[in-house]
Amino acid sequence: MTAQNNFSFLNDNYSGINSAGLSPTQPYFNQHPWDVNLISADVFLQNNYAYISQQSLLGLASNPIQAANPRKNITGENQANVFDFYNKGKADLLVASEILGPSFSMTANIREKKYVFGLFSRMRTYNSFLGFDNYFRFGNQMIPQPDDYKMKPFDTNVMNWNEIGINAATTIFPNSDKQWILGINVKYAIGLDAANIISHQDIELTSTEPAIGENPNRRSIYASNYNLTASYITNYNFESKRYEYKQNGSGLGLDVGIAVVDRDPREDEYNSKLSFNILDIGAVNFKNGINHEFKNGNTIWLQNNPNFDNQKFESPEQYLRLLSQETYGNENASFIGNGFKIGLPTSININYSQRIKEHHFVNVNWIQRVPIFENSLKRNNIVNANYSIQKEGIGYGISSTLSEYKSLQFGGYVRLGPLILGSENVFPILFKQKKLHNANVYLAIKFYPFWDSAFKRHRRQDCDCD
């Protein structure tokens, strides 16, 4: 997955380098000769596994949250401020955050041709868990697990990484009636933390009544016929309980976009624009990542096993080695070597923008994930429509978004000089939701050449007729 993205702002003709991650052609349309992003952050969460009842995102800071306990009649259905569960048969979780650090773009005229160049830095975190066979729903409801259950295959991955990228955009096909823009981002990825878990086949789970001396409220659960791989690497030091920043992986990424524009060369604003973009082609290689495999081993006693219940787990490796001891009678048997790759969240973005009148635009974005690499991260599928008013010192707009083609959300943005605030899902931030389970926030601080004007731009460039 890019994060949810504030499409309303990133379709703004003054978004500049901030929009390069959504479409590498968009910085070309910046009305200013240069711009600088000081800091921006985009955070997105959507899931149908857990929620907080009768609460808004702003209200979380001032209200204590308690965990659901059906035996004590504490549930999200009958009380506010309860962390509870949907308990659906299939569960989805999508989490993404992007922090754009110091970045800039500038316009250059080379041999009477306009080019836009940019440099950007980003920190990105993604986690996807789609179509998970939710065996946990029985424990969440505090009802007995079935005697026999086949848990369907699943996979999940998470990655935290930095990017340093170069953006470039210019016109192509100079003899065409339309203006064609080609844009690319070339990115160097610095892998920090990653984990990947894959269950390759049905896991047979059985449960029995607890034996004498065991917890009477928890059935004993056993797993057999499993084929599971787990890989991870992290900068968190579990002994010192500190995060120690260092590079654990590296890779390259590529974004490619092409836009077809209908515009009057005497006008700053285009009449219409259609762009096609392929984003996040690439992967990150973690050469020292740790790999474990659990396959064709002993039946594993998962719940009520004193070897697990009496342990205080300090690290993932401690847990995996104990699991190996239960599976093969040898804590080292599950370790199969070092090194794994995580694919970037490859997606296709198609954008159409239409000017209604001066400074007024309607934009439509369609983003579809297309994971193409091994263990690829997965972003959320999006259909977004927004209406915005874009002027030099101010911009604002409203939008509607269909996330994962089923969750309808509403939001917008406002750009006041150097400050941009927005959300594509604003209601959960401001108003109490019956079940708070998703949110999106966007914040940016930029530096523009505010003394620029349309008159000065025309003085610098006689005709934009490429």
Per DSSP bridges, beta strands 148-151 and 179-199 are unpaired
Report yes or no: 195 and 259 within 8 Å, Cβ to Cβ: no
Reply yes or no on whether the pLDDT at 1 is more than 50. no
The predicted-structure confidence for 72-93, as pLDDT tens digits, reads as follows: 999 999 999 999 999 999 999 9
How many domains is the chain partitioned into structurally?
1
Q: What is the pLDDT of residue 3?
A: 41
User: Any idea which residue has 């999106």 for tokens?
Assistant: 440
Which long-range contacts (C-beta less than 8 Å, at least 24 apart) are formed by 134-138?
A: 134/49, 134/87, 134/88, 134/89, 134/90, 134/91, 135/205, 136/85, 137/85, 137/87, 137/88, 137/89
The predicted-structure confidence for 289-338, as pLDDT tens digits, reads as follows: 999 999 989 999 999 888 888 778 889 999 999 999 999 999 999 999 99
Run of H or E residues at 436? strand 433-436
In a domain, 97, yes or no: yes
Amino acid identity for residue 244 in this structure = E
Instruction: Give the residue-averaged pLDDT of 4-29.
Output: 91
Domain that holds residue 447: 7-49+86-297+342-460
In a domain, 304, yes or no: no
Reply yes or no on whether the pLDDT at 455 is more than 70. no
Beta carbons within 10 angstroms of residue 91's beta carbon: 22
In a domain, 445, yes or no: yes
The CATH number linked to 451 is 2.40.160
Q: What six digits make up the tokens of 189?
A: 């990825």
Reply yes or no on whether the pLDDT at 410 is more than 50. yes
Cα-Cα-Cα-Cα dihedral sign, residues 264, 267, 268, 272:
negative
Rounded Cα gap, residues 380 and 367, in angstroms? 8
- Burial tier of 452 (Cβ tally within 10 Å: 0-12, 13-18, 19+): middle
Predicted TM-score (pTM) above 0.85: yes
Q: Which of 66, 420, 319, 20 is nearest to 181 (CA)?
A: 20
In a domain, 377, yes or no: yes
In a domain, 170, yes or no: yes
Percentage with pLDDT > 70 across the chain: 95
Rounded Cα gap, residues 117 and 120, in angstroms? 10
The predicted-structure confidence for 159-193, as pLDDT tens digits, reads as follows: 999 999 999 999 999 989 999 999 999 999 999 99
**Of 14 and 463, which is predicted with more confidence?**
14
Q: Which of 126, 164, 167, 163 is nearest to 19 (CA)?
A: 167
Beta carbons within 10 angstroms of residue 39's beta carbon: 13
In a domain, 360, yes or no: yes
In a domain, 77, yes or no: no
Q: What is the pLDDT of residue 231?
A: 97
Q: What is the CA radius of gyration of the chain?
A: 25
In a domain, 334, yes or no: no
